[in-house]
Amino acid sequence: MPTKVKSLADVVKKWGEMTPQRSGYYEAGALAAGGDWEKNTVDSTANFVAGVTAGNIGKLFSGGVKNAGAAKYTRKVKDVGASRFSQGVTAGVPDYQTGMDPMLSTIASVTPPTRQPRGSVANVQRVVAYMDALHKKRLALRAAGA
């Protein structure tokens, strides 16, 4: 005998009506899970590597994007993203400061090669000096667990 399930309309209706009322449960659970999240995420590094290097990962990725589609992207920006944007930016200020500090310090420490006449290919080396310094800093921060 097949498994009896509620109708899709009933399941979606209940989810849409009841889940928003559960934000307190979400917050309490999520706040208590930080240590477990960090440990379990670090411990799953091999699984992450296996997942992102799987032979079919490109098809899965592009298939997921195509399945969601541009219409969903646009709808979610309009219905959710725009109204949460300023709140998200405000909440992210401390993280932005933490992330930008080492980058701005790195930029300030670079002495680029002397500027050459306009159009000189040698001027590209000025950009390379910053690029190399920032790339090394990013790798050092990631290796250190930052």
pLDDT value, residue 52 = 94
pLDDT value, residue 110 = 97
The end-to-end CA distance of the chain, in Å, is: 54
Is 13 within the bounds of a domain?
yes
Domain count, the chain: 3
Residue range 102-135, pLDDT digits in tens: 999 999 999 999 999 999 999 999 999 999 999 9
Q: Which structural domain, as residue segments, surrounds residue 146? A: 92-146
In eight-state DSSP terms, residue 112 is P
Q: Record the pTM.
A: 0.69
> 144 and 113: one domain?
yes
> 7 and 27: one domain?
yes
> 108 and 69: one domain?
no
Residue range 9-53, pLDDT digits in tens: 999 999 999 999 999 999 999 999 999 999 999 999 999 999 999
- 78 confidence band (pLDDT: 50, 70, 90): very high
Give the whole-angstrom CA distance, residue 19 versus residue 22.
5
- Map tokens 């307190």 to a residue: 24
Q: Kindly report the CA angle at 77 between 52 and 61, in degrees rounded to 5?
A: 20
> 39 and 60: one domain?
no
> 29 and 69: one domain?
no
> 79 and 36: one domain?
no
Q: Is the pLDDT of residue 146 over 80?
A: no
> 30 and 70: one domain?
no
Is 131 within the bounds of a domain?
yes
110 touches 135 (CB < 8 A): no
pLDDT value, residue 145 = 53
- Residue of 144 and 113 predicted with greater confidence: 113
> 15 and 34: one domain?
yes
pLDDT value, residue 143 = 84
